[in-house]
Amino acid sequence: MKIIEELYRKARELTNLNSIMALLQWDQEVMMPSGGGAGRADQFSVLSTLIHQKITAPGLGKILQELSDNPEGLSSADLSLLRVLKREYDKNTKLPEKFVADFSRLTSEALPVWVDARKKNAFKLFQPLLERVITMCRQQADFLGYVDHPYDALLDLYEEGLTTNNLEILFGNLKTELSQLLQQKASEKKPIPENLADMTPMLLKDQVHFSERILAEIGYDFNRGRQDISAHPFTTSLGHSDRRVTNRFRPDSLEFIFSALHEGGHALYEQNIAEKYAETPLDEGVSLGIHESQSRLWENIIGRSHLFWEKQYPLLQESLPEQFQNIDLDDFVRHINRVHPGMIRVEADEVSYNLHVLIRFELERGLMEGTIGAADLPGLWNEKYQHYLGVKVDSDANGVLQDIHWAHGSFGYFPTYTIGNLAAAQIWNTYCQFDPDHRQTLLQGKLDKIRNWLTENIYRHGAFYPPADLLQKVCGEPLNSKYFIDYLKNKPEFSL
């Protein structure tokens, strides 16, 4: 057997093991009975240990080294697989096997505790486990290694090459612009139409029905995916032809519409990766920042536009007639684009959203450098919300407990949301140059034209290119926040 064929064999094995892990995680958040937590934690520990053993095996290391030293005759796909697997091998060989097993068990135990603490509005229930997660994440950073800041090691797990210094500069540039825009737009205080402010509660079955319709409209393939309900919406991949989304539904909130578009954007990316990459690490989005650019593009740039709803609003009125039949389209679009600083990140408007991320970045940075502890989080969280957003947080459930990420041990994840917002505007600007009639494209509901362009330029490549290279290839320049600020300043829906 050729050595490159052996690398593909090992890649398939690792990919399938990771898909099995994803299935267990999906089940834990969607289907698992509440009493199954302890057993599931043990299963995660065993499986994560097995995966770690496979990715750190000396035999794999030898193959990676030999191919790196002798790349002659390798195809471009071979070289990309080599790059991605070598990066994973290098990271994982720095993590002791016992640490991997213990961390997997801990985060599995933490998840149901977070769910319970959020339900009971009691941070102290979650605090002891969170303290252990924070300690292990600091250990993880030490194992992985860093030059300037321990947080850098964790950021790089989600966005290759991203550093604390990068983010300090990025948020420093954004903070002033966003604060000024937020003050300007929020001061306009456009009233919520009475029939939207006092909307008849929606039935779960009607919300589920419409969310599935809107997913189908943007091109989500239900033959290779499904939508379920979870405490926090997410997208997961269980294989090349099994990309699943979840949503959450409240009878008085439109969040479910934009969660469907958001998770649908993630899923469209992975459903449209070239089949030739199936069962390899190239069969996934290249980074969370690029992934997030697709979810935010569909959720906000397309999904909150008046032109999009010209075609889709009749579907909403048909699915939920009691709530929307007598609401004017302009009122609806004005409502979903109103700038209203609030407590909840996933319900935030486009102007204030990145300030929610900034708060989490500052807290995570402090936690990783040891200048703050878990016990400080509720107070600091509330102070920062008052400072950056002018919002008084009314509870732990609507404050420090609102996100699932820390229960997962995903420190370093939040900043990728801002990277995604910026990249989405930049990618959309490039699409608009390709399609000068993009307004008509949206008005006529020709979403397949947009999806096909995204597939050709982004989706089909999977993880073939590093994230910075992919953005350069698509847009002709590195990440640039100018396009996002210009988009916010010129968005016509803010003037309705």
Say if CB 380 and CB 361 are below 8 A apart: no
Alpha carbons 255 and 64: distance in angstroms, whole number:
45
Q: For residue 162, how many C-alpha atoms fall within 13 Å in the half-sphere facing its CB? A: 28
263 is annotated as an active-site residue: yes
Q: How confident is the model at residue 186 (pLDDT cuts 50, 70, 90)?
A: confident
Whether 104 and 169 map to the same domain: the answer is: no
Q: What are the backbone dihedrals phi and psi of residue 243, each rounded to the nearest 5 degrees, phi first?
A: -115, 110
Categorise residue 453: left if φ over 0, alpha if ψ from -120 to 50, beta otherwise. Answer: alpha
Residues 287, 205, single domain; the answer is yes
Cα→Cα distances 170→173, 238, 297, Å: 5, 34, 20
Mean pLDDT of 98-110: 96
Q: What angle do CA 300, 210, 356 make, to 5 degrees?
A: 30
Whether 203 and 107 share a structural domain: no
Q: What is the pLDDT of residue 196?
A: 81
Specify whether 81 is located in the same domain as 179.
no
Q: What Rg do the C-alpha atoms of the chain give, in angstroms? A: 22
CA 192/CA 77 separation, integer angstroms: 52
The verdict on residue 159 lying in a domain is no
pLDDT mean over 487-493: 95
Same-domain pairing of 316 and 188: yes
Q: Point out which residues pair with 236 in neighbouring strands.
A: 244
Per-residue tokens: 408 = 């997962």
User: Is the confidence at residue 475, as pLDDT, over 80?
Assistant: yes
Please write the tens of the pLDDT for every residue from 210-249: 999 999 999 999 999 999 999 989 999 999 999 999 999 9
Given 121, 150, 174, which residue is the final one in a domain?
Answer: 121
366 & 434 share domain: yes
Q: Is there a domain that residue 215 lies in?
A: yes
**What does DSSP assign to residue 190?**
P
The answer to whether position 261 is within a domain reads yes
Question: Residue 235: which of 299, 280, 189, 190 has the closest Cα?
Answer: 299
Same domain, yes or no: 100 and 191: no
Q: Where are the alpha helices (DSSP H) in 31-121?
A: 37-55, 58-69, 76-92, 97-120
d(CA 425, CA 482): 9
Quote the pLDDT of residue 143.
Answer: 98
* pLDDT band (50, 70, 90) for residue 470: very high
- Of 41, 46, 45, the closest CA to residue 112 belongs to 41
Q: Are residues 116 and 168 in the same domain?
A: no
Residues 205, 249: Cα–Cα separation, whole Å? 10
Task: Give the domain-ending residue among 63, 90, 121.
Answer: 121
Angle value at C-alpha 363, between 358 and 364, nearest 5 degrees: 95
Q: What is the spatial distance between Cα 236 and Cα 270, in angstroms, rounded to a whole number? A: 9
The number of folded domains in the chain is 2
Q: Alpha-carbon distance 150 to 146, whole Å?
A: 6
Mean pLDDT, all residues of the chain: 96
Report if residue 339 sits inside a domain: yes
Furthest CA-CA distance within the chain: 71
Cα gap 412→418, rounded to integer Å: 12
- For residue 388, what are the contacts with CB-CB under 8 A and spacing of at least 6? 179, 355, 358, 359
Compute the distance between CA of residue 36 and CA of residue 28 in angstroms, rounded to an integer.
8
Same domain, yes or no, for 111 and 171? Answer: no
345-348 long-range contacts (CB < 8 A, ≥24 apart) are 345/402, 345/403, 346/233, 346/255, 346/259, 346/402, 347/253, 347/255
Tens of pLDDT, residue by residue over 374-390, are 999 999 999 999 999 99
Distance CA 331, CA 381 (A): 33
Q: Would you say residue 43 lies in a domain?
A: yes
Q: What is the pLDDT of residue 435?
A: 98
Average of pLDDT values for 435-453?
Answer: 97
For the cut 90, the answer to whether the pLDDT of residue 185 exceeds it is no
- Distance, in Å, from the CA atom of 277 to the CA atom of 81, rounded to the nearest integer, reads 9
Cα 33 from Cα 335, distance rounded (Å)? 38
* Residue 138 forms part of a structural domain: no
Whole-angstrom Cα distance, residue 400 to residue 360?
Answer: 10
CATH number at residue 328: 1.10.1370.30
Whether the pLDDT of residue 1 is over 70: the answer is no
Catalytic member of 263, 270, 299, 350: 263
pLDDT tens readout for residues 242-279:
999 999 999 999 999 999 999 999 999 999 999 999 99
Tell whether the model's pLDDT for residue 191 goes beyond 80: no
Extract the tokens encoding 140. 């993880």
247 within 8 A of 260, measured Cβ to Cβ: yes
Does residue 491 carry a pLDDT above 90? yes
Give me the helices (H) in 123-272, please. 123-144, 150-158, 164-188, 194-197, 204-218, 255-271
What pLDDT shows up at residue 198?
Answer: 81
Residue 99 belongs to what domain range?
3-121
Residue type for position 355: L
423 falls within a domain: yes
| Domain assignment present for 149 | no
Joined tokens for residue 156: 């790089």
Residue 197 has pLDDT above 80, yes or no: no
The reported pTM is: 0.94
Considering the domain architecture, whether residues 105 and 174 belong to the same structural domain is answered as: no
Q: Using CA atoms, how far apart are residues 334 and 193, in angstroms rounded to an integer?
A: 9
286 plus 411 within the same structural domain: yes
Q: Are residues 347 and 225 in the same domain?
A: yes
Sign of CA dihedral 113, 136, 404, 178: positive
Last residue of some domain: 66, 95, 121?
121
pLDDT of 495 strictly over 80: no
